[in-house]
Chains A and B, each alone.
Chain A
């Protein structure tokens, strides 16, 4: 059969869509294996948020709204991690709350705790190496068949558990605790107390709170009486962040910035009730699908920054790596940029081919 462009594009436009899915999967997966590096130039709206955070003083507080569900995790979790990492590195206190989605309760907790753990590991790095060298720890590791990272995780849980008076965490690894006490290693944690990121001192996670707008408004009057407890059901009045004589948080007056990580319409509510009514600065990290809706709020100054999908996370991670070159590492935002780039190139090609095919087949049909 003689080749003609008309026949070729007729075949192409009728191709089984499953070949397209397969091609897309290959294009997305391959860059993950062959570390194609993609340089990211942070967008203006991401720089605006980063600069705002840089201008905050250590001891200031930000409130992060985790208003998304697990299906948007790929875009919003990396953003949350990058922002929380930046805050902790600068000594800024973090509060987290899930208002819009009950299923966000665990996601927000993971974001904050993982970054607190990461920074605590950085702080105690040298001490952990010293503890690793102890014979008792080597034996413990061998008996339990644990890796270095797993032992470090347990030691950090115990160190933080002692300062947070979290008996559950201490009981979880009581055998290791006995070893640390017997060797005197536990007594050497004390000098790190001031630097470690601790729950109730450097961060508080409220978990999911039903009520949405009424909670937003109530927090403007009095956070403790509105929220009562953190995610574990512990009274907020037991935490230094809410009972300290010098730097306690009462309401939005004590919050320097609200960052809403959203996969729905919650950004609008934060802008309407917290920015407009209480005059507090609000920034947003949103899924790419809804990002276009929020650029007008940047232009009007109602949002002081905007992170747009996975690219927004990659931008923020890039800025973290510039500011903290020794410790900040690429996260899942930057990790996905090469795949994103190649997938976009493929989609552009499809659009181009589709349009050429449309005109050629149309012309052929008319002839």
Chain B
């Protein structure tokens, strides 16, 4: 019974959101406001139980791990934001978060997003047992990378040879954008299919 009620509420809200496709109406607005309100409430609840309780209350007050007082105190400084007199306090947690984040992030992000990508671009023909199609793909790949980079090289005017190469780069970029757009369409249709499957299968049980 509870399942039926849950699914029916979900179905009514889905249809309310769909009603916007016809025109804006109160049902749509109710569903939209419910979504925002419930999402925020759920997120606060999750953060309270999984964050505040697990990493502040339980370790400090139940397990006596006083070391957790240090990050808790630093976190509390964020609350200084609410008064002009104490707003300077928030610089400390922000500086610490930025420092730790940058310290951890920069070397590994460089490694993952630049060095490894660059290495694999340069060694595109080194695959063992590479076929004719593999060589063709490699050439196409290198051509795409080279011409697209030239397109984003703005120190020289895009005239003559540089202009031609940059134009080829634009075509590669357009193919990339086309692929992204095609995938976006596929993604949006998938979401629509998901909702219809919910309505006709999970709610009305009229498709198997």
Contact = CB atoms under 8 A, between A and B. Distances in A.
Interface of A: 18, 21, 24-25, 28-29, 32-33, 71-75, 102-103, 105, 207-211, 213, 217, 228-229, 268, 271-273, 275-277, 287-289, 291-292, 296, 299-302, 308-311, 332, 335-336, 339-340, 343-344, 347
B84 interface: no
Nearest to A227: B54
A343 B105 contact: no
B186 A311 contact: yes
Interface stretch (B25-33, B43-51, B154-162): B43-51
B194 A336 contact: yes
A289 B190 CA distance: 11
Binding site of B, secondary structure by majority: helix, strand, loop or mixed?
helix
Contacts of B193: 28, 32, 74, 310, 336, 339-340, 343
Interface residues of B, number: 47
Interface string B17-49: 000011000000000000000010011001100
A339 B196 contact: yes
B108 interface: yes
A102 B43 contact: yes
B4 interface: no
Contacts of B42: 102-103
B62 to A, nearest CB: 12
Contacts of A105: 46, 50
* Ranked 9 nearest A-B pairs via Cβ: A74-B194, A288-B187, A102-B46, A310-B190, A300-B120, A210-B51, A336-B193, A289-B187, A276-B112
A289 B188 CA distance: 8
A300 B116 contact: yes
Binding site of A, secondary structure by majority: helix, strand, loop or mixed?
helix
A74 B197 CA distance: 9
A300 B51 contact: no
A332 B194 contact: yes
Interface hub of B116, B183, B206, B207 (most chain A Cβ within 10 A): B183
B190 A213 contact: no
13 contacts: A18-B22, A71-B191, A72-B191, A211-B51, A213-B101, A213-B105, A268-B112, A276-B116, A300-B119, A309-B187, A336-B193, A339-B189, A339-B193
A268 B112 CA distance: 9
B65 to A, nearest CB: 11
A217 to B, nearest CB: 7
Interface in B166-208: 176, 179-180, 183-197, 200-201, 206-207
B185 A347 contact: yes
